[in-house]
Structure 1
Amino acid sequence: MTGPREPAKAMTTAFSPLTLGPITLRNRVIKSATNEGMAPRGVPSQALLKHHECIAAGGAALTTVAYCAVSPDARTFVDQPQLDSATRTPFRALTDAVHRHGAAASAQITHGGCFTFLPDLSTRRPLSSSGGLNKVGLMSGRFFKQAMSERDMDACAAQFAQAARLAREAGFDAVEIHMGHGYLLSQFLSPLYNHRRDAYGGSTAQRALFPLRVLRRVLDAVGRDCAVLCKIGVTEGVKGGGNAEDAAEIAQLLEAEGAHMLVLSGGMNVESVWQLFGSPLPDEARANVENPVVRAAMRLQKLTEPRFDGFREMYFLEHSRKVRAAVNLPLTYLGGVRSAANVVQAMQEGFDAVALARALLFEPGFVNRLRREADAVSGCTSCNRCVVSMYTPGGTACVLQGENDPAPNRVPAA
């Protein structure tokens, strides 16, 4: 962690190299993981390749491919890619394309736990930290979840390690273990989900035991060759959920275990989806849902949504500062970065990198413009309609730029 910097010096820092374990990034601006809807039937498409290649050409140091499932049951939905022998070749094509532009590629490895909409599972009920009523299941028809046993946890940790090895074989320079947003590992970390009475429940440190085991297995598997990152939430944004103090303690534990960098995010997919984006989802996100149960659930969620008086830049900053003060390992600030001034502030606050998503969807070359223009501001309006567009035939697109051609999304990456 470093002290305050002048604006010009802070921007110089943002475009200086950053070493993470065995790799070095060319600068400190990265593309965060988002669902692009570009892996039909679980196969990375040519559209996904071009999406990440354009961001690499646009100057980003690291582009993150989201939601790479570690097993068939780990998928959230059928069109989510799994890291296995069938996807190794298309993923290799994607990483080769990114590398041609001097950038690095990261695979976000994840397990959905009880947050799943799959028609079939190998278990009677979806696995989670605790059993009982499954809130997500009210939308998917899987009304109950199953607490993981010691054997389940050991098998799952091995799946994460194997997925990391496959990511390395596919040419990825880094893996990002997803520990946020209501997926399996955050179901252990979250006091909302974890009600266990054994060693894996109770205090923050106890709730972190299984995610720490996963991190150790992944580090042992690929840590000498790939950077191993963890994505955590700095706030769950809901009463009784995890907060910044919890996140700071979790960060200390992950640092002690050897994580190379943490990506700081927030919010939960079910309880506080608005927190992820710093603003509400558009009304069409609810109106266009075909399943009446899901539509009703989203309307109920709308009732608990706080009032927003416009979009607030750097909306996770207050929470992320507490994590920054607690640890020394590299941290990536995420949440409402859409200008050179925001990048400068993140550097001045002592963060080692910044993550962007919507701004890069609007303008894939925004990172190069940040380097050129001291007053650069993204044209992204943070309307969140791109979130809805992930379910269109062409995949995620900025509505201000028009829909994607669906043809490349029907062709495997090559």
Structure 2
Amino acid sequence: MSRLFSPLDLGPLRLPNRIVIAPMCQYSAEAGRATEWHAFHWPNLAQSGAGLAIVEATAVEPRGRISWADLGLWDDVTEAAFATALAATRRYSSMAIGVQLAHAGRKASTHRPWEHHGAAIAPGAEHGWQTVSASAMPYAEGHPPPVALDQAGIDAVVAAFADSARRAVRLGLDLIEIHAAHGYLLHQFLSPLSNHREDAYGGSLENRMRLVLQVFDAIKAAVPASMAVGIRISATDWVEGGWDPAQSIALAQALDARGCHFIHVSSGGLHPAQKITLEPGYQVPFAAAIKQHVAMPVIAVGLITEPRHAEDILQQDRADAIGLARGILYDPRWPWHAAVALDAKIAVAPQYLRSAPREHAANFVQAR
């Protein structure tokens, strides 16, 4: 029996299979508001057959957007626009939908990636604003420096995450993923490469983890027990002296003890000096290492593109679920093809059932 197509519980949320669509920024919002693109893109993901889709990094305040065209969930206007796009998704699919709540910190205020190579935009320039971080250190040489958050600023960030979480509940979303990966604000506090603070948020591992744990606690307190709450981390900076797997395990254990429902394990993104050797499943060893130390489910991601590879990772107990990102943009029906390859069953909208190849019709069942 296929493990990839077996159910999985992320806390209170039961998934019909272990295929997770990881968050992918679309850079198609207007002043943080979801647009017609989202009303097209999300329903397309929802017809993939995956067990869960987590929509893109969604900023908890305007200055927390990566680019000026990023999605947000910080006021009634952005909440209403999100609801409109979500309605089109819910109308024809019962897929679980989550949101990744995020703050870009010093990596905010950029162009869209297909314009000017996603370069940073200085404060005062068109589409630019002042960024913030753990310390007043830019991401890369020549980038505008961020302002180090003071205690009031930190408290405001925590409150913003909690407020966005309450909006996610009102929207009827199934899951919240806290973005503490890829060099964004929470990761900036975790890594000694970007956190040179001398207060309660800097120095020791306990201090550097403090903001992430405060954000998690604030979100858990703001949402009902029926809402799944987890986190995405970068397990390593891929830079000597930076955030590393041992520290990631310590963070994972602290979150596990607090009732975190899952951890989504990625890597990198904090420092331009990172050196990564890309190969299929290159991040799976980090997920496997963390899984040995926590009870919560672990999601592995990173160049896992073949169904048998995904199945083997789960069968070897190296992770509990598989995240797909760019691969599912390339092949939006990847779960269908995986079901055929692994001789499993997958639920498909009745309008699409007749598209199944005759020799594989038994693998496709009608979705509710």
Q: TM-score, normalised by structure 1?
A: 0.74
Q: Do the aligned partners of residues 165 and 119 (structure 1) sit closer, same or farther apart at CA in structure 2, a change above 3 Å counting?
A: farther
Q: State how 1:126-275 maps to structure 2 within 5 Å.
A: 126-131=131-136, 133-136=137-140, 138-139=142-143, 142=144, 144-268=145-269, 270-271=271-272, 275=276
Q: State how 1:6-405 maps to structure 2 within 5 Å.
A: 9=1, 11=2, 13-83=3-73, 84-99=75-90, 100-117=92-109, 126-131=131-136, 133-136=137-140, 138-139=142-143, 142=144, 144-268=145-269, 270-271=271-272, 275=276, 279=278, 312-350=279-317, 351-374=319-342
1:185 shift after superposition? 0.3
Unpaired stretches in structure 1, ≥5 consecutive residues? 1-8, 280-311, 377-414
Given that residues 236 and 272 in structure 1 are in contact (C-alpha distance below 8 angstroms), is that contact kept between their aligned partners in structure 2? no
Equivalent position amino acid for 1:214 in 2:
V
What is the count of residue pairs matched by the alignment?
326
Q: Do the aligned partners of residues 75 and 273 (structure 1) sit closer, same or farther apart at CA in structure 2, a change above 3 Å counting?
A: farther
1:214 shift after superposition? 0.3
For the residues of structure 2 that align with 1:334 and 1:324, how far apart are their CA atoms? 14
1:120 shift after superposition? 5.0
Q: Do the aligned partners of residues 119 and 259 (structure 1) sit closer, same or farther apart at CA in structure 2, a change above 3 Å counting?
A: same
Unpaired stretches in structure 2, ≥5 consecutive residues? 110-120, 345-368
The answer for the alignment partner of 1:295 in structure 2 is none
1:318 shift after superposition? 2.1
What does the per-residue CA deviation read over 1:7-52, in whole Å, with 9 as the maximum and x for residues that have no partner? xx3x2x3222222223222211010011122224432122223222
For the residues of structure 2 that align with 1:226 and 1:272, how far apart are their CA atoms? 38
Segments ≥4 residues shifted beyond 6 Å: none
Q: Do the aligned partners of residues 349 and 249 (structure 1) sit closer, same or farther apart at CA in structure 2, a change above 3 Å counting?
A: farther
Q: Secondary structure at the match of 2:329?
A: helix
Q: Do the aligned partners of residues 269 and 241 (structure 1) sit closer, same or farther apart at CA in structure 2, a change above 3 Å counting?
A: closer
For the residues of structure 2 that align with 1:347 and 1:105, how far apart are their CA atoms? 22
* Fraction of identical pairs, as percent: 31
Which of structures 1 and 2 has the larger relative contact order (alpha carbons within 8 angstroms, sep 6+)?
Answer: 1
What does the per-residue CA deviation read over 1:115-162, in whole Å, with 9 as the maximum and x for residues that have no partner? 1226658xx95321123x3234723xx2x3332222221111110000
For the residues of structure 2 that align with 1:45 and 1:51, how far apart are their CA atoms? 10
For the residues of structure 1 that align with 2:15 and 2:202, how far apart are their CA atoms? 37
Q: Secondary structure at the match of 1:267?
A: coil
1:329 shift after superposition? 0.8
For the residues of structure 2 that align with 1:216 and 1:257, how far apart are their CA atoms? 8
1:375 shift after superposition? 8.8
Q: Do the aligned partners of residues 272 and 368 (structure 1) sit closer, same or farther apart at CA in structure 2, a change above 3 Å counting?
A: farther
Q: Which moved more, 1:196-205 or 1:76-85?
A: 196-205
